[in-house]
Structure 1
């Protein structure tokens, strides 16, 4: 199963970093270049078991479910419905204080996936790794920018 990972250190405490990562609506779109549209399904706040509908910037849609939600340290998700070429997809975001700088956070985002159909998976997964790595790198850079954006920071409740 291919895995892609990206990491960044941001100059905010772990509680703030986590809160930024869970913003919704216009605040989320301000920092997240991956999202065209996103909303929670039958919920008003994220939590384990809550589903999310996401349309990414190229128009591909996916429904996912939080399989873990542990503020301020981590969240995990799995795709429940998605694009025809993903057999499985999941991801997790971890937030840990930087040991010698407690006002800084190390964010590590990791995704895994498998592609279908099986006969195309070896090629599709190699291509998918490159494309998804580029997207996750771009997305985590946006997250880092959001962690220092006064508009984003004003929108969170920490």
Structure 2
């Protein structure tokens, strides 16, 4: 199963970095280039283990995912439960670790694994998918880094005043 990973250091605490990563609505759209729309499902108002999320990707692809872990401020994990015709499985985890010697900075590491279908096409599709997903995750984590410096986003999560 292919794995893609992207990482960056952001100039905020792990608590603030985690909070930025879990923003929704217009605040999320300020930094996340991957999504066009995203919302919690089944009446949930806050993320938690077991909560499902509906996401429309920027090109219109739709996906339902479920939080499989939710451990502020250190990590969050998800798995796709319904989505694209070409992913058999998709899962991801985001980790936030204070940078040693710099308590005001956090290392964010985002890792995804996936498998493609149909099986006969998977060897080729997964090589291509790894390149495309890596590019998307790199772009997304760069957006996250910008969000961690955006006064509006930071004010929303209580990390700084706008």
User: TM class, shorter-chain normalised?
Assistant: over 0.9
1:39 aligns with 2:35: no
Measure, in 2, the Cα distance between the counterparts of 1:157 and 1:128.
Answer: 37
- Structure 1: runs of 5 or more not aligned: none
Map of 2:17 onto structure 1: 17
- Structure 2: runs of 5 or more not aligned: none
Map of 2:4 onto structure 1: 4
Matches within 5 A, 1:1-158: 1-42=1-42, 43-157=44-158
Measure, in 1, the Cα distance between the counterparts of 2:134 and 2:103.
Answer: 28
Question: How many aligned residue pairs are there?
Answer: 158
> Structure 1-normalised TM-score?
0.99
- How big is the alpha-carbon RMSD for the aligned residues of Structure 1 and Structure 2? 0.7
Tell me, what secondary structure is at the counterpart of 1:33? Answer: coil
Measure, in 2, the Cα distance between the counterparts of 1:39 and 1:80.
Answer: 15
Measure, in 1, the Cα distance between the counterparts of 2:13 and 2:115.
Answer: 34
Measure, in 2, the Cα distance between the counterparts of 1:156 and 1:23.
Answer: 8
Measure, in 2, the Cα distance between the counterparts of 1:13 and 1:111.
Answer: 23
> Structure 2-normalised TM-score?
0.96
Q: Cα deviation per residue 1:101-138 (whole Å; 9 max; x = unaligned)?
A: 01100000000000000000001000000000000000
